């Protein structure tokens, strides 16, 4: 190897590009006296193939952070890179930042899957049609190919026998699993979950968490906002606790959940555990 060769991949995994690298992210809603400063300088690094669970009290900015990672919100300051690519902006030859064209932003967003508390399935489409829709509309996949792939994904989330059911004929847990399959149909490199089980009856939570755990095991990079501490303990590589728009404490689940150092986190855990 010559001396001018760039470092190769036998370097430690720590040097690989993170899937998510958020630096100094601020989000302000509104202007002037009514402005609400919701994110106040969030740093978040999510390595490829890892699972990060985000905890925090209501209003601490968890959903806003996820929405910034997915470009559903434009950040006020800071930067977000996903798989090494700056979201929302490009540098010109002089280093000046320019907002990307909406089409380019949509393309960036299509690499990131998002699952919400409410499933937002199309009520007039079957489970299979819900999953097959975006690949046809956005990716231009043939209907036949999209339906084949949708059937595979429904099998993966344990719903092969519900493919022809309409959302109203499915339980909340089944609908949420369809929503996960629908997000996976776009072949995302990153999956964001915003309290995916908090609208479900308690007996339906487990089936959704099991699907998420399988997805994590398959190597998907995931950022999950949830109050399911058991899931955080068993599945997360990294736990982040937010309060009032900042990351107050973070680390491996063992340390953050069993031995929190921040009083605000101790207080929060005493309520959710
Ligand atoms: N589009 C918006 N316009 C104005 N304020 C907003 C908007 N979205 C969120 N907020 C405010 O930002 C703050 C943080 O909201 P966010 O939804 O991110 O909190 P959260 O941590 O997800 O809370 P929860 O646990 O209740 O879901 C709240 O005060 C909320 O009212
Ligand atoms: Mg929220």
| Tokens linked to 125 | 């489409």
The helix or strand, by DSSP H or E, that contains position 192, with its residue range, turns out to be strand 190-194
**pLDDT at position 119:** 85
pLDDT lower than 70: segments of the chain: 1-14
Gap from CA of 170 to ligand 2 centroid (Å): 25
Which pTM does this prediction carry?
0.93
- Å from CA of 106 to ligand 2 middle: 23
Pocket test for ligand 1, best of 25, 38, 58, 197 (most atoms within 8 A of CB): 38
Q: Which pLDDT belongs to residue 3?
A: 44
Take atom 26 of ligand 1 and give the residue whose Cα is closest. 58
The whole-number pLDDT of residue 13 equals: 56
pLDDT of residue 4: 46
Mind listing the pLDDT tens digit for each residue in 223-242? 999 999 999 999 999 999 99
The pLDDT of residue 207 is: 96
User: Edge-to-edge strand order for the sheet containing 77-82?
Assistant: 36-46, 20-29, 77-82, 85-86
> Can you give the pLDDT at residue 272?
86
The pLDDT, as a whole number, for residue 59 is 96
196 touches ligand 1 (CB under 6 Å): no
Beta-sheet pairing, 112-115 with 36-46: unpaired
pLDDT at 95: 87
Question: How many Cα neighbours within 13 Å face the side chain of 163?
Answer: 14
* Residue 36 Cβ < 6 Å to ligand 1: yes
Dihedral-angle region of residue 130 (phi above 0 means left; psi in -120 to 50 means alpha; beta otherwise): alpha
Q: What is the pLDDT of residue 12?
A: 52
Pull the structure tokens for residue 184: 């996976």
Separation CA 30–CA 34 (nearest Å): 6
């Amino acid at each position: 190897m010559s001396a001018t060769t760039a470092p190769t991949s036998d370097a430690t995994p720590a040097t690989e590009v993170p899937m998510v690298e958020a630096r100094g992210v601020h989000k302000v809603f509104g202007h002037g006296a009514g402005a609400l400063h919701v994110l106040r300088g969030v740093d978040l690094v999510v390595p490829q193939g890892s699972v990060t669970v985000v905890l925090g009290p209501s209003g601490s900015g968890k959903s806003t952070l996820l929405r910034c990672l997915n470009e559903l919100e434009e950040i006020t300051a800071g930067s977000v890179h996903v798989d090494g690519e700056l979201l929302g902006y490009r540098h010109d030859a002089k280093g000046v930042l320019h907002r990307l064209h909406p089409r380019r932003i949509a393309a960036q967003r299509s690499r990131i899957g998002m699952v919400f508390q409410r499933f937002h399935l199309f009520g007039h489409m079957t489970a299979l049609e819900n999953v097959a829709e975006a690949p046809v509309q956005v990716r231009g996949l043939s209907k036949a190919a999209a339906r084949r792939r949708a059937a595979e994904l429904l099998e993966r989330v344990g719903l092969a026998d519900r493919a022809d059911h309409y959302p109203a004929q499915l339980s909340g847990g089944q609908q949420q699993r369809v929503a996960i399959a629908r997000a996976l149909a776009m072949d995302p490199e990153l999956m964001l979950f915003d309290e995916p089980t908090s609208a479900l009856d308690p007996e339906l939570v487990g089936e959704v968490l099991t699907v998420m755990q399988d997805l994590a095991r398959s190597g998907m990079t995931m950022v999950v906002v949830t109050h399911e501490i058991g899931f955080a303990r068993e599945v997360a590589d990294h736990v982040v606790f937010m309060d009032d728009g900042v990351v107050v404490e973070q680390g491996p689940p063992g340390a953050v959940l069993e031995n929190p150092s921040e009083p605000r986190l101790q207080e929060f855990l005493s309520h959710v555990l």
